[in-house]
Copies of this chain bind each other. A is one copy, B any other.
Amino acid sequence: MSLTLAQLAQALDAELRGDGRTLIEGMATLKDAVPGQLSFLANGRYRRHLAATRASAVILRAAEAGAAPSAVLICDDPYLAYARAARLLHPADTLPRGIHPQAVVDPAAEVDASAWVGPGAVVEARASVGAGVFIGPACVLAAGVSIGAGSRLVARVTVLAGARVGQRALLHPGVVIGSDGFGMARVAQRWEKIPQVGSVSIGDDVEIGANTTVDRGALGDTVIEEGVKIDNQVQVAHNVFIGAHTAIAGCVGISGSTRIGRHCTLAGGVGVVGHLDIADHVHITGMSMVTHSIRAAGTYSAGTPLMENRAWRHNAVRMKQLDRWVRRLDELEKKFSIKELSK
């Protein structure tokens, strides 16, 4: 898709400095762009690439405009403007409609006439596929699940247990929704399975990354509210609740019955233990383990910093003795004050 800089400036509500007739045919980073492409500067880390960019135009803040060797599109939020420009220049493919002859659709499933069911996909009885939905190759929709209008299951997505997925969902390959939760009771040194009979409820505008798993509730539902964004390889256990517009980065694990608030962010590799309550607007930094409920909005962290291995070995030994030293420090302070007092 090609657009002129003038068209882009108008669509992005940006101030153009440069020739509005310049034709833009795609986007690239400052470093990789070639003439005819649009770039952007949002993260200061990449400012060093601005002066040498070959892009025909750059989206940036007013303060950076002077340093650009090209036309500029000035706006307050260059990252957002980049998102919108990318959407204009790389519009989504037109989706097919119908049922591929090598799909397996149960006669008792309801598939909207405007939806697509791809090759190798399986849609079982009483499953419901809404208007404009795209069910990619090798997806499995088990009996009774429903997929809201405009959703896209890219490929090899599995939805089970009567799960209800909202509108405009985007589920990436390998996603599993509605697998059994990990519930067992201990009986005489063996594990006895707790039947998992709940379901999963997913709101509108939710995106779920490749190979992420969302278990069904044991009783009641696992709930993901509207606008939640989840990255790849995240594990969401049974009866977890994730509040609206929360974003969860890759490799996070959330244990059973935990409630995450709205507008939270969990960075990569975070783990949250079960049965906790995390307030709205809580941000957890990477690879932290959350072991208690969090009542106040804010940013929370755990973990040790990276060290050269030799230094780490010395320090790690000390971590095992921390309590002992603090007692030694207490003792020393006490002796010292007694001595001072007794002077």
Beyond A119-B122, A232-B237, 7 additional pairs, beta carbon < 8 A? A82-B185, A100-B104, A104-B120, A140-B155, A179-B210, A300-B308, A335-B336
Binding site for B on A (CB under 8 A): 26-29, 32, 43, 45, 77, 79-80, 82-84, 86-87, 90, 92, 100, 102, 104, 118-120, 122, 136-138, 140, 142, 154-156, 158, 160, 170, 172-174, 176, 179-180, 182-187, 189-195, 197, 207, 209-211, 213, 215, 218-220, 227, 229, 231-233, 235, 237, 245, 247, 249-251, 253, 255, 263, 267-269, 271, 273, 275, 284-292, 298-309, 311-323, 325-326, 328-329, 332-333, 335-336, 339-340
Q: In the complex, are the beta carbons of A179 and B173 less than 8 A apart?
A: yes
Q: In the complex, are the beta carbons of B305 and A298 less than 8 A apart?
A: no
A190 to chain B: which residues have CB within 8 Å? 227, 245
Closest to A294 in B: B306
A322 to chain B: which residues have CB within 8 Å? 314-315, 318-319, 322
Pick the contact of A302 from B79, B247, B301, B305 — CB < 8 Å? B305
Pick the contact of A309 from B185, B291, B299, B320 — CB < 8 Å? B299
Pick the contact of A232 from B118, B179, B192, B298 — CB < 8 Å? B179
Q: In the complex, are the beta carbons of B320 and A303 less than 8 A apart?
A: no
Q: In the complex, are the beta carbons of B269 and A271 less than 8 A apart?
A: yes
A100 to chain B: which residues have CB within 8 Å? 104
Q: In the complex, are the beta carbons of A43 and B339 less than 8 A apart?
A: no
A235 to chain B: which residues have CB within 8 Å? 231-233, 250-251, 268
